[in-house]
A and B are shown apart, each in its own frame.
Chain A
Amino acid sequence: EIVMTQSPATLSVSPGERATLSCRASQSVSSNLAWYQQQPGQAPRLLIYGASTRATGVPARFSGSGSGTEFTLTINSLQSEDFAVYYCQQYNDWPPWTFGQGTKVEIK
């Protein structure tokens, strides 16, 4: 089973600043990685797939990068609606499909 590890667990950022979230896979997942955003009390929402492709309707301030075992989600100029929990997920080696434990982006 591929283990996904996200860091940090919590990231405190001021509105308008940049947030950088990391996701590491225990073995290579190529570019088969997705990022999801989850607001409190809501279902997750797809942000990024293929490590770097934004899903339909996702603002350009969200960008993904990386391949193999190291991935990054960058959120430029944080807006109020961006404060949420973010999960990475690998779909390269399954079952199981595995998620990271999440990074909470909170207001500083």
Chain B
Amino acid sequence: QVQLLESGGGVVQPGRSLRLSCVASGFTFSNYGMHWVRQAPGKGLEWVTVIWYDGNKKHYADSVKGRFTISRDNSENTLYLQMNSLRDEDTAVYYCARAVGATRWVDYWGQGTLVTVSS
């Protein structure tokens, strides 16, 4: 079955960096676009970034553009999110999610990893 397992979350000071990982299994990872979606404590869902199946196209939310970088290693079935210059408002649970056709709906979500930005 499809599984997405995020890791790398934790407590980090403002201005510092963190890298999240998402290991995929149960499907052909290299055939799917992947998103990162976040959820601040007690808030709704916010789309963060997407990467095409081959890594050749990427898009970012304005709130993270220039600070976050999405990447993938199809040989390792792993999705990454490099987060630099972290701010208090980046505190959230970060979900990796499989996209149908990269640009369409999300059909599977990971369990999420919590990032807390605090001094």
Contact = CB atoms under 8 A, between A and B. Distances in A.
A87 B95 contact: no
A100 to B, nearest CB: 7
A5 B35 CA distance: 22
A97 to B, nearest CB: 4
B43 to A, nearest CB: 8
Given A95-B60, A99-B47, A44 B109 contact: yes
Interface string A80-102: 00000001010100111111111
User: Size range of the interface on B?
Assistant: 20 to 34
23 contacts: A32-B104, A34-B106, A43-B95, A43-B109, A43-B112, A44-B95, A46-B105, A46-B108, A49-B100, A49-B105, A55-B107, A87-B44, A91-B103, A91-B105, A95-B47, A95-B59, A96-B47, A96-B61, A96-B62, A97-B47, A97-B50, A99-B47, A102-B44
Interface string A38-80: 1000111110010000010000000000000000000000000
Contacts of A45: 109
Interface of A: 32, 34, 36, 38, 42-46, 49, 55, 87, 89, 91, 94-102
A85 to B, nearest CB: 8
Interface in B68-119: 95, 100, 103-112
Contacts of A102: 44-45
B16 to A, nearest CB: 25
B54 interface: no
Contact of A43 (B35, B47, B104, B111): B111
